[in-house]
Chain A
Amino acid sequence: MNASLRTLTFTEAAREGLAEEMERDSSIFVVGEGIGERGGNFNTTLGLFDRFGPSRIRDTPITERGFVGMCTGAAMAGARPVVDFMFLDFILDAFGELVNQVAKIQYMSSGRLRMPMVLRGCIGVGGSAATHHSGNYYPFFLHQPGFKVVVPSTPHDAKGLLKTAIRSDDPVLFLEHKLLLATRGEVPSEPYLEPLGRARVRRSGRDATVVAVGVMTPKAVAAADSLAESGHDIEVIDLVSIAPLDTATILESVAKTGRLLIADEDYQPCGVGAEISARVCADGFDLLDAPVARLNGAYVPIPYSPPLEQAVVPSQDAVVKALRDLLAE
């Protein structure tokens, strides 16, 4: 097999990116619970403790506010921390540090202090993880100036974006949907970077645009494929970057299709789709042939039991239905 065409899982690709960056820059260190010798609950640091040692692959007590605040100071003082939350739900204990400190210190210091910090964690509904291990939370960080947020959906992007996030002088949230972690995809063996702030057109089409967030991307592509059988030509955009939003790529697509659906597992009110919709209406109203449509997860705390859990998540069939409704407008 040609090495440049090898496939890796999402987790393997991200881990390879982390290791490459740690090899390159000795000021990078990782903190998290069980990320030391254990290698992380999601294998995010598997094998890295032996390579980089305990001060760079640092097991922490269960002290989220403490280690986020600590990493804030470390970033101000010349280190490049990567905070591994395991489940992103745990970030909420550190929310004050993030919003009041991490997001504001560059501004308050007139750019004389930088905030090179990666905040990574698993998001999303699946596996009966229940309500304290299933959140998405990314709209919070779009609302607050000072953060960048990426939600990759492929192993290729996971590696390239994590590397760029680590090199960034800004705080970047790198969010991994737990149902994507074991998915495989082609990853070049040569080092590469992927830019922050860009959406990707995954499937080209003329009749309608779906902007999909993270785990909704493969569902949207599959939905578009199934609609192609009935003659509908759907464009799928993988949003990838929540903050900043790549409005230009979305408007360009809507200029072609005239119809827009935003598919997002996260809640609808004040969500990513609301912001995209407002921007498209403001800057591309004349491009629209139908009202902007949104498909979201149910607006409830995430339940445990499989039938309840499935009732929360937008399915591929739901995407098909939402697109059929949109095409009928």
Chain B
Amino acid sequence: MSAAQTVHTAAHPEQALREAHLYKEMLKIRETELQLARAYRDGHVMGACHTYVGQEAVAVGVCAHLQVEDAVFSTHRGHGHALAKGVAATEVAAELFGRATGCSGGRGGSMHLFSPEVGMMGTTGIVGPNILQAVGAGYAFQLNGEDRVAVAFFGDGAVNNGAFHEGLNLASIWDLPVVFVCENNLYATEVPFAYSAGNPEVAMRAEGYGCPGRVVDGNDVMEVDTVAGEAVTRARRGDGPTLLECKTYRTRAHAEGMPEVGYRTQEEVDSWKARDPIALLRSHLMGTERVAADEISAWEDEAREEALAAIKFAKASPWPDPSTVFDFVDSSDSAEAARRS
């Protein structure tokens, strides 16, 4: 189902506000990612930089249902999750620039974005562990009697890893408040999922663990919003986990500097660009006539300016002090303790 086909109840002001929120959130991710990709090309962003371009509807549609105290556990392709969960673009950019003002103080970079203050519990450079950690956060919330939900985002590459199997089973047998969000973008790095999976229908796997599995058009933010809302509600109610398979596509390379095609065709990339989640919602918004074209343009300008401001902030930020390299190895918070070991 495309956004244009999604049935909306009425020209309700709350609906308009929600659509505007989803649109602006997707724009924020897109514009920030494009600036980060440019910064990578210019040598300001080091290491590996996996952008979320093309998949924005998933993070935004899911995180629209989360409170600050809910927990997100993300992947190597996690900038979008961090931004959607409320980490400031300035802190994300500064982290990728390796600066002291980054959300991980320059210790992590792209694949280790931590901002527990807003429930961003980390991105990870290893495929799979974040699924288990979300299960554990769900366990802690249930144990402590808290009304909180944990979400794991992961790609299709993770579902053939043991962590997926072990995590879904544990969450299911204990009815934990967890939502598993598979972003099936068809390729694990550059290996087709159809090749890697005996059964490439991810959502069907949920049945094997005794929990519901839902297929979602991951480029339709309104559909993600609706289905994620049901999954989060189910988790909050204490009824246990849900697996969402969001079918989507990354329209840039696996990581910046890698080829965009070769392992996939230009035609395939173009066909997904034609279903770009931001363009889909934009045409829907224009169709509803609930929002004026110049208002949408103003949002777009604002998002671009904020992304540029984040880059400017990162560039102007100080590098971390090398004398702090031993800090935070353990809870003693002291360089002396680390040296003593």
A residues near B (Cβ < 8 Å) are: 26-27, 29, 55-56, 60-61, 63, 65-79, 81, 96-97, 100-101, 105-115, 145-146, 148, 168-170, 197, 243-245
Residues of A within 8 A of B117 (CB): 112
Contact status B341-A145, CB under 8 Å: yes
Contact status A170-B140, CB under 8 Å: no
Contact status B166-A69, CB under 8 Å: yes
Per-residue contact bits, chain B 110-141, to A (CB 8 Å; 1 contact, 0 not): 00101011000110111011011111111111
Does B158 make an interface contact (CB < 8 A)? no
Residues of B within 8 A of A69 (CB): 128-129, 131-133, 135-136, 163, 166-167
Closest beta carbon of chain A to B151's beta carbon, Å: 11
* Residues 13-38 of B contacting A (Cβ, < 8 Å): none
Contact status B122-A109, CB under 8 Å: yes
Q: State A247–B95 Cα separation when bound (angstroms).
A: 37
B residues near A (Cβ < 8 Å) are: 71, 73, 104-105, 107-108, 112, 114, 116-117, 121-122, 124-126, 128-129, 131-144, 146, 148, 150, 162-163, 166-167, 169-170, 173, 327-331, 333, 338, 340-341
Contact status B162-A65, CB under 8 Å: yes
Residues of A within 8 A of B105 (CB): 110
Contact status A106-B143, CB under 8 Å: no
B142 nearest CB neighbor, chain A only: A55
Partner of B144, one of A27, A72, A73: A27
Partner of B126, one of A100, A106, A148: A100
Residues of A within 8 A of B328 (CB): 106-107, 109-111
Residues of B within 8 A of A243 (CB): 341
Q: State A71–B135 Cα separation when bound (angstroms).
A: 9
Contact status A101-B107, CB under 8 Å: no
Contact status B132-A77, CB under 8 Å: no
Contact status B169-A61, CB under 8 Å: yes
Closest beta carbon of chain A to B70's beta carbon, Å: 10
21 residue pairs of the A-B complex, CB under 8 angstroms, read A29-B139, A63-B169, A66-B162, A66-B169, A67-B166, A69-B163, A73-B132, A73-B133, A73-B136, A73-B138, A76-B71, A76-B116, A79-B140, A101-B133, A108-B107, A110-B107, A110-B328, A111-B328, A113-B121, A145-B338, A170-B331
Closest beta carbon of chain A to B209's beta carbon, Å: 11
A63 nearest CB neighbor, chain B only: B166
Residues of B within 8 A of A111 (CB): 327-328, 331, 333
A55 nearest CB neighbor, chain B only: B143
Q: State A97–B132 Cα separation when bound (angstroms).
A: 9
Given contacts A100-B124, A112-B114, A145-B329, 4 further A-B contacts (CB under 8 A): A73-B150, A109-B122, A112-B116, A145-B341
Given contacts A69-B163, A79-B140, A169-B331, contact A108 B135 (CB under 8 A): no
A101 nearest CB neighbor, chain B only: B129
Closest 4 CB pairs of A and B: A69-B132, A73-B136, A66-B166, A73-B133
Total of A-B residue pairs, C-beta within 8 Å: 164
Contact status A78-B121, CB under 8 Å: no
Residues of A within 8 A of B104 (CB): 108-110
Q: Name the residue among A61, A74, A113, A145 with the largest chain B CB count within 10 angstroms.
A: A74
Q: State A243–B139 Cα separation when bound (angstroms).
A: 29
Contact status B122-A70, CB under 8 Å: no
Given contacts A101-B133, A112-B114, contact A70 B139 (CB under 8 A): yes
Closest beta carbon of chain B to A24's beta carbon, Å: 15
Residues of A within 8 A of B170 (CB): 60-61, 63, 66-67, 70
Q: Name the residue among B124, B126, B135, B327 with the largest chain A CB count within 10 angstroms.
A: B135
Q: State A234–B124 Cα separation when bound (angstroms).
A: 51
Contact status B133-A106, CB under 8 Å: no
A197 nearest CB neighbor, chain B only: B340
Closest beta carbon of chain B to A67's beta carbon, Å: 7
Closest beta carbon of chain B to A64's beta carbon, Å: 9
Closest beta carbon of chain A to B253's beta carbon, Å: 25
Q: State A180–B134 Cα separation when bound (angstroms).
A: 37
Contact status A106-B331, CB under 8 Å: yes
Closest beta carbon of chain A to B225's beta carbon, Å: 25
Q: State A145–B137 Cα separation when bound (angstroms).
A: 24
Contact status B129-A110, CB under 8 Å: no
Partner of A109, one of B116, B136, B169: B116
Contact status A77-B333, CB under 8 Å: no
Contact status A146-B116, CB under 8 Å: no
Contact status A106-B330, CB under 8 Å: yes
Given contacts A69-B129, A106-B329, A110-B105, contact A76 B143 (CB under 8 A): no
Residues of B within 8 A of A107 (CB): 107, 328-329
Contact status B129-A96, CB under 8 Å: yes
